[in-house]
Amino acid sequence: MFEPKPPIRSTQEDVIELAGDIDRFVISLAERIDRIQDAELAQKSGEVAALAQALSRDADHLGYPGMAMSAKGVAVAAEYSQMDELQETVIELTEMAQRVRQGHRGAA
């Protein structure tokens, strides 16, 4: 049977100086994922790679190393035009973003 994966919390959530940045990151996450998905559907690999690289850097800085690795996987697949791999990694990144949003302290 399918077992849901747990929410993802930031490893930096206790760093007071990053609290606002983490909030903004999580709030903007759905829009950022939408842009990556739209670029992937439009087969704009360069745009996908750039968006995913930026997301990877931000996720890494703000305590989401798993998301950073997933976004990096999207960027690499886009850079090498591995379309099947790109689709799979975008799906994985989307699922991870949902878990990050669920794990954020402001989530209901």
- When pLDDT is cut at 50, 70 and 90, the band that residue 1 belongs to is low
Structural fold of domain 16-101? Four Helix Bundle (Hemerythrin (Met), subunit A) (1.20.120)
In the chain, domain spans: 16-101
Tell me how far apart the alpha carbons of residues 73 and 92 are, in angstroms, rounded to a whole number: 10
CA–CA separation, 50 and 47 (whole Å): 5
pLDDT of residue 106: 55
Q: Would you list the DSSP string of 16-60?
A: GGGHHHHHHHHHHHHHHHHHHHHHHHTT-HHHHHHHHHHHHHHHH
Lowest mean pLDDT among 36-40, 60-64, 101-105: 101-105
Average pLDDT, the chain: 93
Residue 108, pLDDT above cutoff 50: no
pLDDT number for residue 105 = 67
Which amino acid is located at 108 in the chain? A
